[in-house]
Amino acid sequence: MSLFGSMNTAISGLTAQSRALGHIADNVANSQTVGFKRTDTNFVNMLTESTDSLHRPGTVIARPDYTNTLPGTIEQSENPLALAIAGQGFFSVALPRGEQNGQVLFDERQFYTRGGDFQLNNAGYLVNGAGYYLQGWRVDASGNPDRSALVPIQIGELIADPVPTSRIELMANLPADPDTTPLQSQVPIYDSLGNRETVSLSWTQTGANTWLLSLSASGATPAALGTVEVRFGNAATTPMPDGTIGEFANATGSIVPVAAAAGAPADLTFTADFGQGPQVVTLNLGTFGQARGLTQYAGSDYDVRGWTQDGAPPGNFSSVAIRDNGDVAITYDNGRSRVVARIPIATFADPDSLQRLDGQAFMRTAGSGEARISEAGANGAGTLAVGSVERSNVDLATELSKLIVAQRAYTANTQIVSASDQMLMDTINMRR
């Protein structure tokens, strides 16, 4: 091997160690960057000739060795919208490229990231610290995601529509002691416009274990909704256990009771018109033959233990939260909530072959394979850690150790260059 070859080999060593130093510098600089994946150095020897009798060293090159599959430490965050992936996978994100008519335009290419420090921007999008917009599946009113397309998640439903009441459940005890004084209670409900209305229940004992229930609503037309006879225990045609609802009878007005059957819901429906057309409401009084809902036991008072109804007035946006399964849910100040999107996880056959981009983002390549979009925790995808972020997978102690080795190796290569230079000088001076 010539002296020039030795010098070239040493120079290639200097170049390789310089690249290694660059990788170390990049890792150290991004040691606190959310979702950053370090780059290690893989030194590869390139030979000129090597046989059993002759070896001519060639050069060395430094290739990047990516660690996209190695997770960083998951750390809790004060940001409730922050996300981390425990396991394999990436968030699907979009890159904005401007606006048109007040709408954000996005790059048609698909991007992926582990940087989950998402927050709501002023347009209601979930955006991470690098400016990438989180994507997910739209969800219909039944909570079923549309898996056909990924779209940037935007919180735009700032007003919750009113929900007209369709079901009331009453839990109370009527006194078994004889008393013909009517007993009153009221239940607030909501019409289709979200107006609060009141349904009045009046109970009058008409005989042993028999009560007449009268329903009315002052805001309805007509106000009187109807009456129905409620029979308890052995007052029913088919006797039931004492104190439990046995049957309904002699309904009038808009009240329609169900037929009695032991263990079945003791439901009756009534229709009220609050100005927007007939509104059908089901009143559940418990269960036939069971001490559940409405009962008649000893006592002198009408004891209303509670009631529930499924209506709601209009609501204003209160907060947004992300659930462990990836559902993005909006909560309104009327107590209602709505799921507007679901966050999936993208996985690849070879994540280390993804192309790196600015902002801890990646793009697919032929080597990485196509993205497989799955729900969190399914098909090999990691699970979501809500309210957490994934820190860089850089270990500073290791990087500083590699820095020392790279520095010494660089110095050693300079010595080879100096020695080759001196030997060349000696060769030139031989003719003197």
The per-residue pLDDT for 346 is: 97
Token readout for 195 is: 């107006």
Q: Are 344 and 136 in contact (CB under 8 A)?
A: yes
- CA separation for the pair 14, 11 (Å, rounded): 5
The per-residue pLDDT for 299 is: 79
Strand 303-309 vs strand 290-297: parallel, antiparallel, or unpaired? unpaired
The per-residue pLDDT for 432 is: 60
From the list 112, 30, 22, 27, the residue with the least C-alpha distance to 63 is 22
- In order of 11, 270, 312, the CA distances from 254 in angstroms are 96, 5, 23
The per-residue pLDDT for 423 is: 79
- CA separation for the pair 362, 36 (Å, rounded): 11
β-strand partners of 315: 160
The per-residue pLDDT for 1 is: 52
* Interval 353-387: pLDDT, tens: 999 999 999 999 999 999 999 999 999 999 999 99
- CA separation for the pair 94, 96 (Å, rounded): 7
Token readout for 401 is: 């150790």
The Cβ-side half-sphere exposure at 287, using a 13 Å CA radius, reads: 8
- CA separation for the pair 11, 34 (Å, rounded): 36
The gap from C-alpha 246 to its chain's centroid, in whole angstroms, comes to 47
From first to last of its 432 residues, the chain has per-residue pLDDT tens of 577 777 888 888 899 999 999 999 999 999 999 999 999 999 998 877 777 777 777 889 999 999 999 999 999 999 999 999 999 999 999 999 998 888 899 999 999 999 999 999 989 999 999 999 999 999 988 889 999 999 999 998 778 889 999 999 999 999 988 888 899 999 999 999 999 999 999 999 999 999 999 999 999 999 999 999 999 999 999 999 999 999 999 999 999 999 999 999 999 999 999 999 999 999 999 999 999 999 999 877 899 999 999 999 999 988 999 999 999 999 999 888 899 999 999 999 999 999 999 999 999 999 999 999 999 999 999 999 999 999 999 999 999 999 999 999 999 988 888 887 787 787 778 766
Strand 167-175 vs strand 278-287: parallel, antiparallel, or unpaired? parallel
- CA separation for the pair 317, 196 (Å, rounded): 20
The per-residue pLDDT for 431 is: 67
The per-residue pLDDT for 209 is: 92
- In order of 213, 215, 216, the CA distances from 222 in angstroms are 17, 11, 9
- In order of 44, 149, 192, 281, 284, the CA distances from 272 in angstroms are 83, 43, 11, 8, 16
- In order of 8, 66, 272, 404, the CA distances from 16 in angstroms are 12, 16, 83, 15
Every domain range in the chain assigned CATH 2.60.98.20? 167-309
119 membership: H or E segment, kind and range? strand 119-120
Name the 3-class secondary structure at 245. strand
Task: Match domain 167-309 to its CATH number in 3.20.10.10, 2.60.98.20, 3.50.30.50, 3.40.1260.10.
Answer: 2.60.98.20
